[in-house]
A and B are shown apart, each in its own frame.
Chain A
Amino acid sequence: MRTFEFEWHAERGLSWTGEADFEPDLVLFFGERATVAQGACFRALREAFPEARIVGCSTGGQFNAEVITDERVLAVAVKFHHARVDLATINSSDFPDSEACGRALAQSLRRPDLKAVLVISDGLQVNGSKLVAGLTQGVGPGVVVSGGMAGDGTLFENTIVAANAPGCSGAIAAIGFFGSGFEVRTGSAGGWDVFGPRRRITKSSANVLFELDGKPALELYERYLGADEVRDLPGSGLLFPLRIDDPDAPGNDVVRTILAIDREVGSMTFAGDMPEGWTAQLMRGSFDRLIEGAADAARQSAAPEDEVSGLSVLISCIGRRLLMGQRAVDEVDAAAEELARNHAMIGFYSYGEISPHSGSGFCQLHNQTMTVFSIYERAARIS
């Protein structure tokens, strides 16, 4: 595998210096919504890499080992020695629901030698939980599914996904990795601490929560937050996510971030489903613990020692960046330190992370986590 990391700037263009014999199979790029939506970036990339599959999305900020940025578009180009890459793209508006979207993507990728799928989805029009359900069901067990939901800074207005085309909202791109001679490793961790009693979700509808233990959920939540934080809702809600778990199948616990509140009906909208009957527990994050979480996720996907080349795509929750502010760089640094320095690395802040559960291995939509997708290849001569 050969990789090149580079940037695109509206005025300066690609920082790509070019290499004669380098024709990448895959180009990934991440930028703020206005930039990705504009199409100039994609056209530049297409011009530079006419044969490559080019996939990108809007974010809540993108980063690599060096920097976290909002203005610059960060990109990586990859040429695989062993893995073969295919791309499936759909628009969610063409399907009745998100689960159908997942099944359609899986249908177009499903081949016997499919090893892994990296999915980049619209972050607002798609129900990530359903998408993952449809996708994992479609590709079957044994295929690693990872990825994330596109972001829109702190605006939560519109997200854009570009897949071999200028970006548009509602799009979902699924990159399939086929063949052998490569290895995919994923990692996912939050670093959030639970506290307080475990409560039961007694009334909900998809990702809207109404009641916990038979009481209005918002009232309960606000009591916990305290007057200062309540003032800043829903933004401050990012800082106090809920951990939910299925009591009938313990160990599949996921973190859910608040996206919106409705004081009139006392409901809270989360970045993922809140199934009735599951338990919910309040979480809190402190800088150090979140940084530790990021490091943990990176460690999970770190390369075996003899791997000679690799690419890691890091997808962290926008909530983490908002919480940590300037300290977010510590998270990226901590993750980067766990990964091999000579391997390529690119990441973005998302509206949701998709990864196999670190405990159960069952692919789920996560919130408030650092999720890492790493692909490693041995040297061509070795294989």
Chain B
Amino acid sequence: MHKLFKKQLEQARLSDGTHDIARLAELVSAAYEESDRDRRRTDRSMELMIQELDSFNLGLQQSVDQRTAELAIATSTINATLSNVDQGIVMIDPDGRVSVFNRRFIEFSGLQPEDCENKPFFRDLVDKMLAQGEFARMGSEFQLWAAKVAHKPGNRVFERTRPNGAVLRVQTKRMANGGEVRVLSDITDLARRRQEVETIRRELEETIENVSQGIMKIGPDKKVEFFNSRVVELLGLPPTLLRAGMPFEELLEYQIGAGEFDNMGQDFIEFVRSGGVALANQSYERRRPNGIILDIHTIVLPDGGAVRTFADVTEARSRELRLERAEAEFRSLFENSIVGIYRSAMDGTQLRANPAFARLNGYESEAELLEHASSLAHNWYVDPDRRDEFAAIMARDGRTTDFVSEVYRMKTGEKIWISEAAWIVRDAEGRPLYYEGMVIDATDRKRAESEIEHLALHDMLTSLPNRTLFLEKLTNSIATNRKGQEVAVLCLDLDHFKDVNDTMGHDSGDVLLRMAARRLTRAVPAHGMAARFGGDEFAVILPDLRDRDTVVQLAKRLVRALSMPYRIRGKRVFVGASVGVAIAPTDGNDAQELLKKADIALYRAKRDGRGTYAFFDPGMTAALLARREVEQDLRRAIQNDEFVLFYQPIIDLEHNEPAAYEALIRWKHPEKGMLPPAYFIDIAEESGLILQIGEIALRQACATFAKLPGGKQVSVNLSPIQFRNHQLAVSVINALAMAGLPPHRLILEITESVLLTDDTRTLEILRQLRLLGVQIALDDFGIGHSSLSYIQKFPFDKIKIDRSFVQDTDDGTMNMAIRRAILGLGQDLSVDVVVEGVETTQQRDMLIFEGARFAQGYLFGKPEPASIVFGEEYSVESMRRVA
């Protein structure tokens, strides 16, 4: 019985054990109903499932159709692709036959299309390729492999080179069905590039290995990827420590352990430990314990790795240090130099200036200079053309030294002189970059130079132009006055100026000259010139002369001006002036000639009686000219020491030996030979030169006799002119003192004329001399104004009877009487008398007879040089040497 039905029976059973049929029927019916519904639902669900299935199938069919269509497109696409791809493709079916191939495969295999059609065995194709030499370039091993293995399906990749050099990559892939796909790619370019890359890589490696820097690459995993041996060297690492793949930290730990960073401080070590050095782009230097300085750069790469370079900069740093020191030294020189140093652009823009240069321009500092005077090019030089000259020299020579210019002190505008040394600084190609130069203040030098120049052309004492400048001006004036105008040349000298010098001293003489120069300057018109030639010689130019009267007026004015009394040291001093005039072009056009003619005119004026003027006159005698010449010669002779003394003995008749010698002067003229006094004494007296000549004679005589043994006396003649000199006594004393001659050995001979003028003063001098012990002789007694009163006036030590009283003449009796009278007078007055001009023994005998004690004349000896009279050692030359 059905289990459900059993339950239904139970449910329908009544308490009496019978069944409620209606209830049972209801239950059974319901059960049927439920079963039906279950079936219907099942049916419905089946129906739904079928619907689902149908719709699914429909979708599937559509899908299949769509896919089929797509496949067709894909297939044609693939076919098109196959024939157009760059790769050669061949598919081999499980039987080893070629099922698909493309154009490229034919191309890459060296086969013909018909070889591949009709599904040939791939093995046969390989054999054919072998036979055709397709693998010839691959060597026998490859060919053997090709013959035996290559055609079999497998997963391989190999490359081969075709006979034409093309490189193929062949990739084979075994398919699930046992077949194979083989793809051939032309990688000729790739292979070439690979080769190139390999070459580059090798070169890079070599380069990296050979650079002076250490290079290390650290990977993103903080491991050393590669490094060059320089790293090991620079870091002083053990040869085997560093290796690729080594954690960078390990290297750092080694370095820390080895004390590598001990000199860098704990902070640095912590920094290193923290990995800081490898994490960021950075550069730093550190000194290794062995003193090497490393410049270390880290560059972080985008992938987190880093490249680190190490460079030994020890030498560079030391060089820098040296450079710094040198720079500091040069800077110090630059800063402290008292020479101005600058640098300027070619256009003159100031670039640098040292303090001295700034100061030169009146500024405190370089900055102030550059601020206020950015360019000195065109407004610096007082003469703007100087800048162009400077640039021209620089362009031509590249440098200049002592380029002296007048410039403005920029701040004050004051004019100063500078001397520049400058040069062009060029770049490596030789292009000018800028000027550099040194500048010194040449103002003082310039002033000194102009002073020297002034001195060269001016007289120091009076500041008047000197002869040189005068001649220059005269020459110029003559040259520029050719158009009919005349030029007057005036020569002046001061009358009696020498007296001032002699009596008041040279200082006073100088004062007088300066005063005279001032008067002269004031008297001469502005366009003229006054000059001093030396001593009391002056000259004046008067150009643009319109008429002679102007000159006359000027000459008179000059005489008058110069003759006014001078007040010197509280004394009134009188000197006169004489003027000689020559006129160009009348008297010549040569400056020297004009000057000479003016001088002659002056000479004439002086001869005419001083204090006046004279024009040059061609009628002036040749004698005058000759005298003038002699005078000029004498001046030279004094300078050149051309005078010598001849000595003539004075015989003591009693002992028949020389008692003394008379010194007689001679002029040893370089052209005219030995000249007697008659040739020049007059002129010497006239010109006053006799003073100097007399002094020479005194000194020479004293010097010679001081050396001469035997205590003999020397007798020296004095000119009346010499007595005008108040210094005569001083001169005598000087000559004696210098020679060391006792005064009593010197006899001074004077003529009567000495006593004619101003005898009181003359007598005073004579007395002074006599007090010294010097003997005084009266020469040429008996002629001229000779007067016995003179003998009375002065106690002469000797009287010399003129030679005319000895000569045998018509008037012999008269001479003998006078002679005997004088000799008698001498005896009476106890004055030695010397008879001159004794030439014969008769004359001598007569004189001895007459009681004469001393005689002089050719009989006893002619005047002769000291070397002859006294021996060679007394020659003038020897005496000079001794002196």
Spell out A's residues near B (CB within 8 Å).
Answer: 193, 195-197, 224-226, 228-229, 239, 282, 284, 286-287, 324-327, 329-330, 333
Contacts and interface: CB of A to CB of B under 8 A. Distances in A.
Contacts of A228: 40, 44
A196 B4 contact: no
Nearest to A68: B7
A282 B42 CA distance: 14
B31 A195 contact: no
Contacts of B40: 228
Interface stretch (B45-53, B269-277, B365-373): B45-53
A282 B41 CA distance: 13
B365 to A, nearest CB: 83
A325 B28 CA distance: 12
A196 B52 contact: yes
A338 B797 CA distance: 200
B38 A287 contact: yes
B4 A325 contact: no
B8 interface: yes
B52 A226 contact: no
A212 to B, nearest CB: 15
B719 to A, nearest CB: 157
Nearest to A193: B45
A327 B27 CA distance: 11
B44 A327 contact: no
13 contacts: A195-B45, A195-B49, A196-B48, A226-B47, A228-B40, A228-B44, A239-B41, A284-B41, A284-B42, A325-B34, A326-B8, A326-B31, A329-B4
A196 B49 contact: yes
Contacts of A329: 4, 7
A368 to B, nearest CB: 14
B30 interface: yes
Given A195-B45, A196-B49, 5 more contacts: A197-B52, A324-B34, A326-B31, A329-B4, A333-B3
Using C-beta atoms within 8 Å of the partner chain, give the interface range for chain B: 10 to 19
A329 B27 CA distance: 14
Q: Which 3 A-B pairs have the closest CB atoms?
A: A325-B34, A284-B45, A226-B44
By secondary structure, the A interface counts as helix
A266 B117 CA distance: 68
A29 B144 CA distance: 92
Given A195-B49, A196-B52, A325 B41 contact: no
Contact of B48 (A195, A325, A330): A195
A376 B47 CA distance: 46
A327 B4 contact: yes
Given A195-B49, A197-B52, A327 B41 contact: no
A325 B41 CA distance: 14
A286 B7 contact: no
Interface string B28-67: 0011001000101110110111001000000000000000
Contacts of A226: 44, 47-48
Contacts of A333: 3
B335 to A, nearest CB: 83
Contacts of A195: 45, 48-49, 52
A326 B27 contact: yes
Contacts of B30: 325-326
Contacts of B38: 286-287
A329 B34 CA distance: 14
A87 to B, nearest CB: 37
The binding surface of chain B is classed by DSSP as helix
A230 B3 CA distance: 32
A330 B4 CA distance: 8
Contacts of B42: 284, 286
A126 to B, nearest CB: 31
B4 to A, nearest CB: 6
Nearest to B49: A195
Contacts of A324: 34
Given A226-B44, A229-B44, A325 B31 contact: yes
Contacts of B48: 195-196, 224, 226, 282
Contacts of B4: 326-327, 329-330
Interface string B1-16: 0011001100000000
A286 B41 contact: yes
A241 to B, nearest CB: 13
A196 B51 CA distance: 9
A326 B7 contact: yes
A206 B796 CA distance: 179
Contacts of A224: 48
B32 to A, nearest CB: 10
A376 B38 CA distance: 37
Nearest to B34: A325
B709 to A, nearest CB: 159
A333 B38 CA distance: 20
A246 B514 CA distance: 138
Contacts of A282: 48
Nearest to A225: B44
A324 B30 CA distance: 11
A329 B4 CA distance: 8
Nearest to A333: B3
B730 to A, nearest CB: 149
Nearest to A196: B52
A327 B34 contact: yes
A224 B48 CA distance: 7
Nearest to A329: B7
Contacts of B47: 226
Contacts of B31: 325-327
Contacts of A197: 52
A286 B45 CA distance: 10
Contacts of B7: 326, 329
Contacts of B3: 330, 333
Nearest to B11: A326
A197 B27 CA distance: 38
Contacts of A239: 41
Contacts of B41: 229, 239, 284, 286
Nearest to A197: B52
A103 B378 CA distance: 102
A284 B30 CA distance: 21
A326 B7 CA distance: 9
A350 B44 CA distance: 27
Nearest to A239: B41
Nearest to A287: B38
A229 B40 CA distance: 10
A326 B52 contact: no
Given A195-B52, A196-B52, A197-B52, A326 B45 contact: no
Q: Which of A193, A196, A282, A286 has the most chain B CB atoms closer than 10 A to its own CB?
A: A196
A197 B55 CA distance: 10
Interface in B370-388: none
A324 B4 CA distance: 12
B783 to A, nearest CB: 174
Interface in B711-757: none
Contacts of A193: 45
A142 B40 CA distance: 45
A325 to B, nearest CB: 4
A329 B31 CA distance: 12
Interface string B434-475: 000000000000000000000000000000000000000000
Nearest to A286: B42
Residue with the highest number of chain A CB atoms closer than 10 Å, among B3, B45, B48: B45
A325 B694 CA distance: 190
A325 B7 CA distance: 13
Contacts of A326: 4, 7-8, 27, 30-31, 34
Nearest to A282: B48
Nearest to B55: A197
A287 B41 CA distance: 11
A223 B41 CA distance: 14
Nearest to A288: B38
A225 B3 CA distance: 31
A327 B4 CA distance: 7
Contacts of A229: 41, 44
Contacts of A286: 38, 41-42
